[in-house]
Amino acid sequence: MLVYGTEVVIPVEVEISSMRIIQEAELDDAKWVKSRYEQLALIDGKKMNAVCHDQLYQNRMSRAFNKKVKPRRFTPGQLMLKKIFPHQDEAKGKFSPNWQGSYIVHRVLTRGALILVEMDGEV
């Protein structure tokens, strides 16, 4: 206001009408309510589009990840080794082994979970 002698209006106020903009445009209440309702309906539509886009993106990412996963079927009594991941305590350094022990599958649970038994019988 000090520079040009008029009050400043930011672009957000023009798009989302504030009380000052409504008074300057001299809209009556019915027109204002109708335009506000249309703006809110557009916002809901944009939210739904964003949610749908997010779900499609997550589905694409999970499909791309699951392509590389090889499903394996285990049966009780089968022999196996357990992989040591880098974040586990057993991983001590560069030359430490990548696999641990010799295990027997004791039980197969849902979704591929296993209960293992060591060779001496300890679960």
The pLDDT tens digits of the residues spanning 58-103 come to 999 999 999 988 888 889 999 999 888 877 777 677 888 888 888 9
Q: Measure the CA–CA gap between 74 and 105, rounded to whole angstroms.
A: 8
- Whole-model pTM? 0.43
Task: Give the residue carrying structure tokens 């989302």.
Answer: 16
Of the pLDDT bands very low, low, confident and very high (cuts 50, 70, 90), residue 1 is: very low
Share of the chain above pLDDT 90, in %: 24
Burial of 72 from C-beta contacts in 10 A (0-12 / 13-18 / 19+): exposed
Q: Measure the CA–CA gap between 101 and 81, rounded to whole angstroms.
A: 6
More confident residue, 1 or 114: 114
What's the Rg (C-alpha) of the chain? Answer: 32
